[in-house]
Structure 1
Amino acid sequence: MKALTKHLAALTIGLCALNTAAHAEELDVMTSGGFTAAFQRLSPKYAQDSGDSIQTILGPSMGKAAKAIPNRLARGENADVVIMVGYALDELIKQGVVDPASRVELADSRIGMVVRQGAPKPRIDSEEAFRKSLLDAGSIAYSDSASGVYISGKLFKKLGLEQQVGSKAKMIERIPVASVVASGQYEVGFQQVAELLPVPGVTFVGKIPESLQSVTRYAAGVPRHAKHPEKAKELLSYLSSAAAQPIVQSTGLDSVPR
């Protein structure tokens, strides 16, 4: 009897495993830089628990680069999930590319500053100190995504520094800003904190003053032509869950107020 019970239990486990395997899918997830570190930590656990496999495709939320998420989708590349800057996702929803009912908000990202490892850390704990650090910097790098658009289009103007820093500030395309600071090409660099922290060879100075911040909301959705829309929604539910927040916060992002 015990042998029969063990056999039936083993058979049940085997059937469950087969059922999971039969329903497992490969999900294509396009994610932009700010949420990438969090996603790379969260996705293995989801894959293990769900049985699905995940292919991660990197690209900026906007811009002319061929790898930008809107351009990938326009070429017909498949994505079951897109994770990107919220207003860029809203534009895809407006265009009819992404299902509006699938939209979920994932995290807030603030702008931070780095210097080359070993270099003195400038003070940026007040508007006055931050303004001085910009004036003192020999060269300034910023990103080609949401944070860089804000810095070049609004922040320098708000501080009255367009003329003083314009000639020494450069938008860095396609690669992490911290990488050109680490190599010594630029003295200071600005990008969203979650994109600065993973890069070796730099020292994180801190977030820019809150009064000068531009908070970027990351959101996600399911394209209308996704191959596995229901599985995609399950993944989004996990990424936005309370259980995922400690990992989200560990990468330099802030949880969305609920």
Structure 2
Amino acid sequence: MTLKILSGGAANGLVNACTADFTTATGHDISGDYGAVGAMRDRITGGEPVDLVILTRKIIDDLAHAGMVRPDSVTDLGNVVTGVGVREGSEVPDVSTAYGLRAALAGASSLYVPDTQRATAGIHVAGVIARLGLEAEMADRLRTFPNGQTAMATMVADAQDGAIGCTQVTEILNTPGVVYAGDLPEAFALSTVYTAAVAQDAEQPEAASTLIRLLSDPGAADLRRRVGFT
């Protein structure tokens, strides 16, 4: 049997880290699809079959209100911040201040980000660029992808000197070949709560509940921190 997940990209690393324990406990495999939270929400509201949903707390609350996920299964997994990453071996910029962040972005050969219309981090990064007055300057250097992990993996594969990635820390830490430069500075910070829930019409509701317990287990707090959840 296979458990089907639709999730924001931020939870990919955490699910991967718990997959072996889940399979041992249930005998199920996992089929996970990770992308922009807006795109995942639209697939769920469009009637796509799914067992487990992991999206932002607000979207999960909206889905619960609409009767699309089981309210008694709703479980917060933790907060995820947005930050900056560079390819391993590249100079790591100081992005701890607004001045440093602006200098890093302005000097980047390309900026790799998730979907700026439907992904939590991508929408936020687009707003940060506008607030820094770099919107026009960076328009031809902005590279967008369905989720942050795809953006980071492509940045590594492209091996372009001076490239920078900006997405949620979980997607940076979960991508080999990327070094975490740091959180966005306080004035531009974004921390997002990610939440899991069993789909109302789940074919594997018990297995979905088991995975939620593994993902949220207090004993797995160190694991969650390692993959970027706080």
Give the shorter-chain TM-score range. 0.7 to 0.9
Tell whether the 8 Å contact from 2:109 to 2:163 is kept in structure 1 after alignment.
Answer: yes
Relative to 1, partners in 2 of residues 1:189 and 1:26: Cα closer, same or farther, differing over 3 Å? closer
CA distance, structure 2, for counterparts of residue 108 and residue 179 of structure 1: 23
1:196: which partner in 2? 172
The amino acid of 2:107's aligned partner reads D
CA distance, structure 2, for counterparts of residue 61 and residue 170 of structure 1: 15
Relative to 1, partners in 2 of residues 1:98 and 1:252: Cα closer, same or farther, differing over 3 Å? same
For residue 155 of structure 2, the aligned residue among 181, 204, 216 is 181
* Count of residues in Structure 1 that have an aligned counterpart in Structure 2: 224
Secondary structure at the residue paired with 2:175? coil
Matched, 1:74 2:49: no
1:8: which partner in 2? none
**More displaced, 172-181 or 221-230?**
172-181
CA distance, structure 1, for counterparts of residue 51 and residue 27 of structure 2: 12
CA distance, structure 2, for counterparts of residue 29 and residue 72 of structure 1: 11
Matched, 1:28 2:27: no
For residue 60 of structure 1, the aligned residue among 25, 30, 35 is 35
Tell whether the 8 Å contact from 2:86 to 2:92 is kept in structure 1 after alignment.
Answer: yes
Matched, 1:119 2:90: yes
CA distance, structure 1, for counterparts of residue 105 and residue 2 of structure 2: 46
Shift of 1:90: 2.7
Using the size of structure 2 for normalisation, the TM-score is: 0.85
Matched, 1:141 2:116: no
Secondary structure at the residue paired with 1:110? strand
Tell whether the 8 Å contact from 2:81 to 2:191 is kept in structure 1 after alignment.
Answer: yes
Matched, 1:98 2:74: no
Shift of 1:146: 0.8
Deviation string 1:127-163 (CA, Å, 9 cap, x unpaired) is 21111111222221211121011111x2123323333
**Which structure would you say has the larger RCO, counting Cα contacts within 8 Å and 6 or more residues apart?**
2
The amino acid of 2:226's aligned partner reads S
Shift of 1:117: 2.5
Shift of 1:189: 0.9
Pairing 1:158-173 to 2, within 5 Å after superposition: 158-173=131-146
Over aligned residues, Cα RMSD in angstroms?
2.4
CA distance, structure 1, for counterparts of residue 5 and residue 178 of structure 2: 29
Relative to 1, partners in 2 of residues 1:52 and 1:214: Cα closer, same or farther, differing over 3 Å? same
CA distance, structure 1, for counterparts of residue 204 and residue 123 of structure 2: 34
Relative to 1, partners in 2 of residues 1:61 and 1:116: Cα closer, same or farther, differing over 3 Å? closer
Relative to 1, partners in 2 of residues 1:232 and 1:200: Cα closer, same or farther, differing over 3 Å? closer
Relative to 1, partners in 2 of residues 1:114 and 1:200: Cα closer, same or farther, differing over 3 Å? same
Matched, 1:157 2:141: no
Q: Which runs of 5+ in 1 are unaligned?
A: 1-24
Secondary structure at the residue paired with 2:143? strand
Shift of 1:248: 0.9
Q: Which runs of 5+ in 2 are unaligned?
A: none
Shift of 1:118: 2.1
Tell whether the 8 Å contact from 2:2 to 2:31 is kept in structure 1 after alignment.
Answer: no
The amino acid of 1:136's aligned partner reads G
Tell whether the 8 Å contact from 1:114 to 1:181 is kept in structure 2 after alignment.
Answer: no
Tell whether the 8 Å contact from 2:12 to 2:34 is kept in structure 1 after alignment.
Answer: no
The amino acid of 1:161's aligned partner reads L
For residue 60 of structure 2, the aligned residue among 89, 92, 100 is 89
The amino acid of 1:173's aligned partner reads P
The amino acid of 1:91's aligned partner reads D
Identity of aligned residues (%): 24
